[in-house]
Structure 1
Amino acid sequence: MTSFGEYGLVQLSKNFTVTQAVAFKDYFKQVCDRQSDLNQIVLDLGQTTFIDSSGIGALVGCLKIAQAHQIELVIWSLHPQVKMAFELTGLKDVFTIDMGTECLLAPETEVTEVSGTTHPSVRSPLKRLLDIVGSLVGLGITAVLFLPIAIAIQIDNPGPIFFGQIRCGWMGKRFKIWKFRSMVANAEALKHQVKNEAEGAFFKNKNDPRVTRVGKFLRRTSLDELPQFWNVLRGEMSLVGTRPPTPDEIERYEIPKWQRLDVKPGMTGEWQVNGRSSIRDFETVIQMDLRYQENWSLLHDIKLILKTIVVLFHKNAGAM
């Protein structure tokens, strides 16, 4: 970092992935702890053309560190490739960005996608086609089953038919996930009264008292997840991907765990077909998510979809 009295300037590397991100966050914290006279730190991303979810996680972590030290953090000279990632993930509304010093591409250069920040599965047109076709079929099934499910929910526990919750998708972008309501109407307000039986950054209770009688059936058969086909059609989720975390789970992530956000969250995935009902350890979820990213192919997605159908008819199948 170059210091100018109460101001500091840091130029980030060309590639800002998990290796650089972990080291940078540690360095940033040391700087903030050591230099108490700093009022503002400017991060120059003008030369940074490749950033992944771990890089995003490091920047979010640095913002929190700066705020704790009452230091203003400013993003300066965003490369267009990274700027697009900021816009798509909503980070442009989180950070203070000096838009007057944007890095300009040569006239003949055109940015059409965030190729420097996405996993191949996110860019695959065939995977997106599979998602669209699958979601349309799924929404057709949802429409057929909607009336009996809605009546059952209302009889058992009057209230909203659908349950919406904010989750984090690709690169940490927030969206509202939809399900058929399987808990009492004020379930979120009662969450603090329920013991978390999982280890790590996610919540799970096998016998959650908030789940209604109809809700238990919906979860056991995964019918509660049918409305998520709408999230898939909108492009917020995929048929196959990683488990979509909640914002409070993201708050507890160390930088390497942000790697699981390099792909879109899915209605099913490795965690679905490998005993999600019995998983209690977050590290196991991470390993499954990273394994999916490493092994991804369209054929692998199709295999997981077929395995999911088999799992749904297993007596131990159940919702997360």
Structure 2
Amino acid sequence: MTQVLNSLIGSPSYKIPLWKRTMDIVASSILILMLLPLFIVIAILIKLESRGPVTYNAKRVGQGYRVFNFYKFRSMRPNSDQLLSKLKHMNQYNQTSQVAETTDPQYNGGTLLLQDDGFICEGEYMQEQAQKNRNTFLKVENDPRITRVGKFIRNTSIDELPQLFNVLFGDMSLVGNRPLPVYEAEKLTKDEWVERFSAPAGITGLWQVTERGKTGVSEDSRKRLDIEYAKRYNLWLDLWILFRTPLAAIQKTQV
């Protein structure tokens, strides 16, 4: 994994094109000035409902596996990250990428494989790998960690607005593939998934305007949409995604 990351980080091929960067600077500057009153109102509502910071700042992995500080309005209760392990059984992606049971014929092989700590049955090894690699993404319906204000700003995508500063600073673009938490990105260093990181990280993207808010969406489907955008993004595709974003922003499900 280290060799893969070192070969990708800082690669000159992973730069935001000039046309895209120019559009990002102009649009994000105008939007920040226009939305400043809304920012103030949302900040007051968040502080009135629960203690804690107004924004949620976390490390995210973007284009070329570059790690940066990612900004959102806080929509969850303080210390919500500590509850994450208790909610993994509610992950919607579990329902679409189930690990095969030990009774599945593909796990009944009797071949022994040599590992660092001894021998392991081939069938058992395959099952362990499937368990380890599944569910890169986490999505929970009716997440109990979310506050009342948080539900509103999430369903209207207002919580994403502070990312306009990420766009202005050059960490992200208006349109791209969503930046991932480090623990998710480290699972996508295989050759088949690396290409999704060749595109800029974005506030909105192809996945958001086609699949967001739907139940039963597989994790592989999301990855492949990210790769599709990375392969063919251009000015006209970005404009099409931006045009469709307002409709996709209003979610029908609590996710």
TM-score range, shorter chain: 0.7 to 0.9
Decide which of 194, 211, 224 is 1:287's aligned counterpart: 224
Report the Cα distance in structure 1 between the residues aligned to 2:36 and 2:78, rounded to whole angstroms: 22
The match for 1:311 is: 248
Q: Is the 8 A contact 1:153 1:181 kept in 2?
A: yes
5+ residue gaps, structure 1, are 1-56, 62-74, 76-81, 90-113
The match for 1:275 is: 211
**In the superposition, relative to structure 1, how do residues 309 and 126 fare at CA in structure 2: closer, same or farther (>3 Å)?**
same
The match for 2:104 is: none
Decide which of 174, 186, 199 is 1:239's aligned counterpart: 174
The match for 2:27 is: 134
**In the superposition, relative to structure 1, how do residues 142 and 198 fare at CA in structure 2: closer, same or farther (>3 Å)?**
farther
The match for 1:59 is: 3
Report the Cα distance in structure 2 between the residues aligned to 1:254 and 1:136, rounded to whole angstroms: 34
Give the secondary structure class of the aligned counterpart of 1:192. Answer: helix
Q: Measure how far apart 1:260 and its partner are.
A: 0.6
1:156 aligns to 2:54 (yes or no) = no
Q: Measure how far apart 1:60 and its partner are.
A: 4.1
Decide which of 238, 242, 251 is 1:301's aligned counterpart: 238
Give the secondary structure class of the aligned counterpart of 1:167. Answer: strand
Decide which of 157, 161, 167 is 1:226's aligned counterpart: 161
Deviations 1:189-221 (A, max 9, x none): 221121322242111101111000000000000
Q: Is the 8 A contact 2:60 2:180 kept in 1?
A: yes
Q: Is the 8 A contact 2:72 2:162 kept in 1?
A: yes
RMSD (Å) for aligned C-alpha atoms: 2.2
How many residues align? The count is: 211
Q: Measure how far apart 1:254 and its partner are.
A: 4.7
Report the Cα distance in structure 2 between the residues aligned to 1:254 and 1:60, rounded to whole angstroms: 7
Give the secondary structure class of the aligned counterpart of 1:198. Answer: helix
Q: Measure how far apart 1:123 and its partner are.
A: 4.3
Report the Cα distance in structure 1 between the residues aligned to 2:16 and 2:236, rounded to whole angstroms: 16
Q: Is the 8 A contact 2:16 2:200 kept in 1?
A: no
Q: Measure how far apart 1:245 and its partner are.
A: 1.0
User: Larger Cα Rg: Structure 1 or Structure 2?
Assistant: 1
Report the Cα distance in structure 1 between the residues aligned to 2:64 and 2:231, rounded to whole angstroms: 17
Q: Is the 8 A contact 1:221 1:317 kept in 2?
A: no
Residue correspondence of structure 1 range 1-320 to structure 2 within 5 A: 59-60=3-4, 86=9, 88=10, 114=12, 117-118=13-14, 122-195=15-88, 196-199=91-94, 200-255=135-190, 256-278=192-214, 280-312=217-249, 314-316=250-252
Q: Give the letter for the 1:228 counterpart.
A: Q
Q: Measure how far apart 1:311 and its partner are.
A: 2.3
Give the secondary structure class of the aligned counterpart of 1:179. Answer: strand
Of 151-160 and 225-234, more deviation after overlay is shown by 151-160
Report the Cα distance in structure 1 between the residues aligned to 2:150 and 2:189, rounded to whole angstroms: 33
Structure 1 outlier segments of 4+, above 4 Å: none
5+ residue gaps, structure 2, are 95-134
Report the Cα distance in structure 1 between the residues aligned to 2:235 and 2:139, rounded to whole angstroms: 30
Report the Cα distance in structure 2 between the residues aligned to 1:221 and 1:248, rounded to whole angstroms: 27
The match for 2:115 is: none
Of 274-283 and 208-217, more deviation after overlay is shown by 274-283
Give the secondary structure class of the aligned counterpart of 1:273. Answer: helix
Give the secondary structure class of the aligned counterpart of 1:194. Answer: helix
TM-score, length basis structure 2 = 0.76
TM-score, length basis structure 1 = 0.61
Q: Give the letter for the 1:270 counterpart.
A: L
